């Protein structure tokens, strides 16, 4: 498998997925406070967490990107691929976007991430892990080809499903 370091930046028509280290630290800290649900998170601790995330990327253990809205390059989210199981070609997808993200923007980001898992990593399955910060609608997930896995309430998409997209 390719070194994960090469997988940046990734572009969509309106977003760039790039390393969190390219964002201003105060913006990354604000986002990390929301993602980790730690409102008291200090800048120093956020920097340490970001360093640990980047170390995992360099070790090919997971992929994590900051999601930047173009053209102003505002940090609006975080996406991670974790629990990478190369032998069975599956990964968990964690997506955190700010509250002002529209449904169309969420669809654009989610479509690109799933396409990346299937086309670049050649995995057969992606599991969208539920979180409190970003909750795509059931309608959107069904339209994209995801199905709800009852035992853990996460959403799963298999490579056999073709994504409907305008990207």
Q: Which of 70, 73, 117 is nearest to 95 (CA)?
A: 117
Q: What whole-number distance in Å separates Cα of residue 40 and Cα of residue 42?
A: 6
Predicted pLDDT of residue 52: 94
Domain limits, the chain: 8-158
CATH class entry, domain 8-158: alpha beta
C-alpha torsion sign, points 89, 118, 140, 164: negative
Encoded tokens for 33:
């406070």
The string of pLDDT tens digits covering residues 98-123 is 888 899 999 999 999 999 999 999 99
Q: What is the pLDDT of residues 16-39, one digit of tens each?
A: 999 988 999 999 999 989 888 889
The whole-number pLDDT of residue 167 equals 55
Is pLDDT of 87 > 80? yes
| Tokens linked to 5 | 């370091």
Tokens of 85: 């199981």
Between 165 and 128, name the one with better pLDDT: 128
* pLDDT over 70 (residue 166): no
What pLDDT does residue 162 have?
A: 54
**34: enclosing H helix or E strand:** helix 25-36
Q: Check: CB of residue 15 under 8 Å from CB of residue 95.
A: no
The pLDDT tens digits for 50-80 are 999 999 999 989 999 999 999 899 999 999 9
Q: Tell me how far apart the alpha carbons of residues 105 and 100 are, in angstroms, rounded to a whole number.
A: 10
The pLDDT score that the predictor gives to residue 161 is 52
Burial of 47 (0-12, 13-18, 19+ CB in 10 A): middle
Average pLDDT over residues 68-97: 93
Instruction: Let me know how many helices (H) and strands (E) the chain has, helices first.
Output: 4, 8
């Amino acid at each position: 498998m390719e070194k994960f370091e090469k997988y940046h930046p990734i572009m969509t028509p309106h977003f760039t997925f790039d390393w969190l280290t390219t964002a201003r630290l105060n913006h990354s800290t604000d986002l990390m406070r929301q993602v980790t649900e730690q409102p008291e998170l200090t800048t120093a601790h956020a920097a340490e967490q970001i360093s640990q995330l980047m170390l995992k990327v360099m070790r090919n253990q997971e992929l994590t990107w900051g999601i930047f809205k173009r053209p102003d390059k505002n940090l609006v989210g975080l996406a991670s691929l974790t629990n990478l199981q190369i032998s069975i070609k599956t990964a968990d997808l964690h997506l955190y976007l700010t509250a002002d993200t529209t449904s169309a923007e969420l669809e654009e980001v989610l479509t690109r991430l799933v396409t990346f898992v299937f086309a670049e990593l050649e995995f057969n399955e992606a599991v969208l892990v539920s979180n409190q910060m970003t909750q795509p609608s059931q309608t959107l997930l069904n339209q994209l080809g995801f199905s709800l896995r009852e035992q853990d309430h996460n959403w799963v998409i298999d490579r056999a499903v073709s994504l409907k997209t305008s990207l």
